[in-house]
Structures are given as C-alpha cells and as structure tokens.
Structure 1
Amino acid sequence: MAYTRGNLAVKEQTVERGQQSPRFRETTKVVTRRSPLPVREKLLYMVTVLFCVAVMGGLLWQNSNLYNIKRQMYNLDTEIQAMTVQIKEMSVQKEKLQEQIPQEAAKLGYVETSEEGFHIQIPANSQTEGSADEVTTAKK
C-alpha cells in the first residue's frame, strides 16, 4: 500500500495507464433513516404543547377580563363626570328658581304675614264650638 498525502486508505493505482477507464462511474449515496419517535415520547411532546397552549389561553382570558374591567371603569368615570356637570347646572337652576319664589307668590296674591307660625282656617261645617271666622295659629 502506498502512502498518499497522509492517507493510507487510498486505492493503489496500477501502473498501466494505457487501460481504458470504465465507462460508468460507480457512485454511492449514503441514506440515513431516522428511527421514528417512540409513542411515549410523542405523547410527552403533545402533552407539553397542550399545556403551553392552555397556559397561554388562560393568560389571554385573564387579560381580556382585565381589559373589560378597565373599559367599564373608564365608562363609569366618564358618566360620573357628565353627572357632576349636570348636578352643578341643576343646582344653579335651583338657586335661580328659589330667588323667583317670592316674586311669583306676590303675583299669585300670597301675602307674607308678620306673625310667626302656621295659619289654619277652620271651615264652618266642622266646627262645633266658636265662630266660623276664627283663625288658629300654631307655633313652629
């Protein structure tokens, strides 16, 4: 065997160069076949993937609930601000109407008395004793 460029596995070439080389060249292709995964390993991978999908689904569901709650809070804050503005407008309107009460009462013929308390006029039919024109005054 000849030692060719550091390789002992090289075929020796014959000295006869005059021979015709073969018409076809023999080539070999190395085919490696992977052995299929065992059933237990396949199940382990499938369970791992399903677990990851379940965890991600749970997180997504939780985030969607949080988003809905935050959206409801925002809507309620907006409604509270609108109601606060409406309450302020109504209180201003109430004060204006309270200032107009004495003027409207005077237009309708009501007179403010100088005495303090309630004034009740008792009708003539229901009175058994006393005169019909009697007015009763009660103190507050």
Structure 2
Amino acid sequence: MAYTRGNLAVKEKAQERVTQQRYKETTKVVTRRTGLPAREKFLYLITLLAVIIVGGALMSRYAHIYELNKQAQSTIVKIKEAEKTIADLRVERETLNNQVVENAKRLGYVEASDKDVIFVPRSTTNTSTGTESSSKATSSK
C-alpha cells in the first residue's frame, strides 16, 4: 500500500489490482520521411556551389604561388651559373692582361718611356674610316 499524506487508511486503487487482460495493447510509431522542400534544396545547392567556387579559387591561388616559387628557384639557379661564368671570365681577363706585355715583347714592341710622346691624329671622319685611317697611320710609323 501506498503512503499518502500521512494517512494509512487509503483504499487501493482499482488499477493496482491484478486483473488479467485478454489482449495486449501495443502502439507502433510510424515515421514517414518527407522530402526536403524545394527552397531548402536550392539553399543546399547554392551553399555547395559557393564552397566549390571558394575551394577552386584557393587552389588556383596556391597553384599560382607554386609556379612563382618554381620560377624563382630556376632564376636563382641561372644567377648562380652566371656568377660562375663571370668569375671564370674575370680570371681569363686577368691572365690575358698579364700575357699582353709578354706577347708584345716577343713580337718586338718596345715599352714607351715617359719622355716619348705618342701623337695620334684626330680625324673628323666616321668611326669605320677613322679606324682604318688610324691603323694606316700607326702602321706607317
């Protein structure tokens, strides 16, 4: 028996009596899946397209950055090769400068002293004839 508000003299409820039922009531919950409304489908489609466009833009930017980095690397390699070539050519220039005096002495040229004056005539002709006339003038001496 149940204790209700301090009174023990409570009549039993009819539901609590044990009675046999002839059938058992059961309830079955049926859920139907309804399709999405057209507006919601359109919203999902627009959202999906926006995500794809933003992702494509990001990927193209990263591809462009990658291409720029690749070009920078190849330019750095070309610069290093050019610097090596310049260094080699400077060394070759120095060796050729050192050989000029030796080759001139071997060919019979004499070094000019400070007292000797070399006169080079000034010409008013163009550079191609000026070089020819200056070479003729030098060879005649």
Query: What corresponds to 2:63 in structure 1?
Result: 64
Deviation at 1:68, TM superposition (A): 0.7
Deviation at 1:76, TM superposition (A): 0.6
Q: Which has the higher contact order (CA 8 A, sep 6+)?
A: 1
Q: Which runs of 5+ in 2 are unaligned?
A: 3-13, 121-136
CA distance in 1: counterparts of 2:138 and 2:58, whole angstroms: 73
Paired residues, number: 108
Query: What corresponds to 2:125 in structure 1?
Result: none
**CA deviations over 1:85-129 (Å, ceiling 9, x no partner):** 22112101110111012212333x2413645146232xxxxxxxx
Whose strand proportion is higher, 1 or 2?
1
Query: What corresponds to 1:112 in structure 2?
Result: 110
CA distance in 2: counterparts of 1:32 and 1:43, whole angstroms: 25
**CA deviations over 1:2-60 (Å, ceiling 9, x no partner):** x9xxxxxxx947655xx6x76x8664431211321111210111011111110110011
CA RMSD of aligned residues (A): 2.8
Q: Which runs of 5+ in 1 are unaligned?
A: 4-10, 122-134, 136-140
What aligned pairs does 1:7-22 form with structure 2 within 5 A after superposition? Answer: 12=15, 15=18
What aligned pairs does 1:25-36 form with structure 2 within 5 A after superposition? Answer: 27-36=26-35
Give the secondary-structure state (helix, strand or coil) at the position aligned to 1:34. coil
Query: What corresponds to 1:96 in structure 2?
Result: 95
Give the secondary-structure state (helix, strand or coil) at the position aligned to 2:138. strand
After TM superposition, the score normalised by the length of structure 1 is 0.62
Structure 1 residue identity aligned to 2:34: S
After TM superposition, the score normalised by the length of structure 2 is 0.62
Give the secondary-structure state (helix, strand or coil) at the position aligned to 1:37. coil
Identical residues among aligned pairs (%): 30
CA distance in 2: counterparts of 1:15 and 1:113, whole angstroms: 141
Give the secondary-structure state (helix, strand or coil) at the position aligned to 1:56. helix
CA distance in 2: counterparts of 1:62 and 1:15, whole angstroms: 78
CA distance in 2: counterparts of 1:48 and 1:38, whole angstroms: 16
Whose helix proportion is higher, 1 or 2?
2
